[in-house]
Amino acid sequence: MATAMPPAPQPRWMRWVDQRLPIFSLMKDLNEYPEPKNLNYWWNFGSLAGFTLVVMIVTGIVLAMHYTPHSDMAFDSVERIMRDVNHGWLLRYVHANGGAMFFVAVYIHIFRGLYYGSYKSPREIIWWLGVIIFLLMMATAFMGYVLPWGQMSYWAAKVITNLFSAIPLIGPDITTWLWGGFAVDNPTLNRFFSLHYLLPFVIVGVVFVHIWALRTVGSGNPLGIDVKSPKDQIPFHPYFTVKDLFGLGVFMLVWAAFVFFAPNFMGHPDNYIPADALVTPAHIVPEWYFLPFYAILRATPDILFINAKLAGVIAMFGSILLLFVLPYLDRSKVRSANYRPAYRVAFWIFAADCVLLGFCGAAAPEGTWLVVGRIATAYYFAHFLIIVPIISRLETPKPLPFSISEPVVKGAAARA
């Protein structure tokens, strides 16, 4: 590692700074940080999410210079950004589609973790911090969606804040407090703007701790076995900077395709109608990245003495909170699904179930879709609470390679 190497020659001013503030040593440590050499492209999505966070903060700060957080002026100020502010359209479309791209990166990052067992010892705290980041992202995205104060903004705010009215006894008082009034109105918009500006910086803080924990125990890898020797590793720079940059190029192409060719593809036309407290749009659905959770909310029926509304809210929040206890539900010592034949099947069925829930969340909650939604919701919970614990006890994993280098060296020997 860096400490064992001779100090690299550097200009005197850099040495002068480094002796007083070891910024260059820190950068050197980060660059030379040894990573497992077998990381595949699924390991790109953490840095992609980090990049997206930076873009969101930069575009968001500039957008906030043009936006007016008042219920009478918010909608018009967003239209002014689109029509009159220089490059306002670009900043807004980058920011609006960036929210979706952030969820793309984070969902893939989460499913990477589920497949390769990234939540297992010794990476539980990294995983928990990740779930906290995910929850913060959902809150931030929701409040950002409210700011343009269109019809979908207003009704999203109304429906989501009303989730809290399901809390027994104090629920209605909590919603009044959240709104700062008796309905979603100007005070609500004001505080959402304040929090939408604040939370991304909270996310930056948690991301920092997330990476700190990651650097403490080291990255996992597709084989799911521990690093045995320095032979299993290569330095982050240049090997993974280059790999991350290539992925970033592809990611930005997709993002740019949305921004320049289909900027409203993921939005709803109703959000270009100013908010109206007296008319609910015919079909309110959240953004695509919330659809599976929305489906769980709507599909849950009365359970024993709990009414459907409270049960739906509990199920929706529970579906995410389950991720916190996942390290204890999955007792298998083998991390990578590549060596777990039964879990590997369960993983793909679960992934399909999440997509199916997304379709249920987009459809009207009636007839066949309601039934399908209920089955898919039941399966979501069964996966975590029944299937994963049982598989982790009964499954016979395939034999693991001795080290990360071994299959490569053997493969080379076989080819020779």
Half-sphere exposure of 215 (CA within 13 A, CB side): 13
Q: Which residues contact 372 (CB under 8 A, 6 or more apart)?
A: 356, 360
24 or 164, CB closer to another protein? Answer: 164
**Smallest distance, another protein to C-beta of residue 181, A:** 5
Cα dihedral across residues 257, 258, 263, 264: positive or negative: positive
**Smallest distance, another protein to C-beta of residue 187, A:** 7
**Smallest distance, another protein to C-beta of residue 142, A:** 14
181 or 238, CB closer to another protein? Answer: 181
Omega before 238 within 30 of 0, i.e. cis: yes
56 or 310, CB closer to another protein? Answer: 310
CA distances from 323 to 26, 111, 212, 319 (A): 33, 11, 21, 8
**Smallest distance, another protein to C-beta of residue 308, A:** 4
**Smallest distance, another protein to C-beta of residue 280, A:** 4
**Smallest distance, another protein to C-beta of residue 144, A:** 19
**Smallest distance, another protein to C-beta of residue 293, A:** 14
57 or 174, CB closer to another protein? Answer: 174
**Smallest distance, another protein to C-beta of residue 277, A:** 6
92 or 158, CB closer to another protein? Answer: 158
130 or 312, CB closer to another protein? Answer: 312
Angle between helices 23-32 and 12-20 (to 10 degrees): 100
186 or 405, CB closer to another protein? Answer: 186
**Smallest distance, another protein to C-beta of residue 357, A:** 16
**Smallest distance, another protein to C-beta of residue 384, A:** 24
14 or 183, CB closer to another protein? Answer: 183
38 or 186, CB closer to another protein? Answer: 186
Q: Name the token pair of 222.
A: 């597709």
300 or 332, CB closer to another protein? Answer: 300
Q: Name the token pair of 142.
A: 């929701």
**Smallest distance, another protein to C-beta of residue 199, A:** 16
Amino acid, res. 102: F
Q: Write out the residues near another protein by the rule CB under 8 A.
A: 155, 158-159, 161-163, 165, 176-185, 187, 191, 277-280, 282-284, 298, 307-310, 312, 364-366, 370
114 or 275, CB closer to another protein? Answer: 275
Distance from chain centroid for Cα 351? 15
